[in-house]
Structure 1
Amino acid sequence: MPRIRSILSLLLVAAAIFCVSCGGPKASVPTTYSPEKIEQLQLLAEPIETAKESLDVLKGFIADKNWIDTRTYIHGPLGGLRQEMSSLTRSLLPKDQKEARNLSKALFSDFERLDAAAKERNSVAAQRQYGEAVQHLQSFLDLLPSS
């Protein structure tokens, strides 16, 4: 009899654990942006939009073949862009995060190739990489919902 009680109490514990682990509401992933979320994303996007506007400075350095300032600008004022873009990407809906990550990686690959072109003093490659960087940054910003 004591053995049956032990087995019975073990079965009751197992059943209770099973019921508790299977119960409860499931968290749902939102499929659209709320107005509050859009406002938050717009605040997170401000430094990125400012960086996009300041890319004209970089374009001037490349046009003037000022390679030292080109490399300094990539690592200096544009250096914090990766962190800003990562923060914004994490705030997007899951369906948009993958494309945002891919565009971010492409942008920073462009910056790396632009830095290499500036190091080699290759004006043609630097201008091409600058154009691709602008395009990738604009595509990233186009992912953001508008109000």
Structure 2
Amino acid sequence: MVRQRSIFSFFLVLLATFLISCSGPGVAVAPPTYTAVQLEKIQAYVPEIQAVRNRSQELTTLIKRGDWINVRNFIHGPMTEARLNLTYVTSNLLPNDQPKARQITRDLFNDLVKLDKATSAGNPLVALNQSQAVFAEIDKFFDLLPNTSSEAEAS
């Protein structure tokens, strides 16, 4: 009986040694990062989006004046182009950020539709609120963008 326990213990030690030697440290997966091409594509569109964002006061002034024709021109011109640029940028974001970016772009579109309806109805209060919502969506989108100054230094 003692001899059987010794042999059994010996095999357990061999099995444990084998299992420990076969297992290695886990492979560390680097977090996803932006490639130089992705950063370049993103940076191609950011100035155009930022230019529209910087014109928020202009839209507010047009709404307060009741200049509905120019408000609609602004919505269907620069704002729609900015929305299109957001769509182009979305495909170059990290995979984890793309669903958030798509949702922000959808919300922006819905806010633009509401702003257009308020403009058609000549309702300055709703139009002002919707214009603020539109620019808030753009700000949320900018939060998803990579900080290119630190990314460029790391490369």
Same fold judged by TM-score > 0.5?
yes
| Cα shift readout 1:91-127 (whole Å, capped 9, x = no counterpart) | 1111110000100111111111011001111111111
Verify: 1:111 aligned to 2:112, yes or no.
yes
Counterparts in 2 of 1:48 and 1:100: CA distance versus 1, 3 Å: same
Q: Which residue of 1 aligns with 2:38?
A: 37
Q: Which amino acid aligns with 2:75?
A: I
Name the CA distance, whole Å, in 2 between partners of 1:94 and 1:29. Answer: 14
* Greater RCO (CA < 8 Å, at least 6 residues apart): 1
Q: Which residue of 1 aligns with 2:75?
A: 74
Counterparts in 2 of 1:72 and 1:40: CA distance versus 1, 3 Å: closer
Unaligned 5+ runs, structure 2: 1-28, 150-155
TM-score between both structures, scaled by the size of structure 1: 0.73
Runs of 4+ in 1 over 4 A off after TM superposition: none
Verify: 1:100 aligned to 2:101, yes or no.
yes
Unaligned 5+ runs, structure 1: 1-27
Q: Which residue of 2 aligns with 1:60?
A: 61
Q: Which amino acid aligns with 1:41?
A: I
Name the CA distance, whole Å, in 2 between partners of 1:43 and 1:117. Answer: 32
Higher-Rg member (1/2): 2
Count of matched residue positions in the alignment of Structure 1 and Structure 2: 120
Deviation at 1:35, TM superposition (A): 5.2
TM-score between both structures, scaled by the size of structure 2: 0.70
Verify: 1:127 aligned to 2:128, yes or no.
yes
Identity within the alignment, %: 32
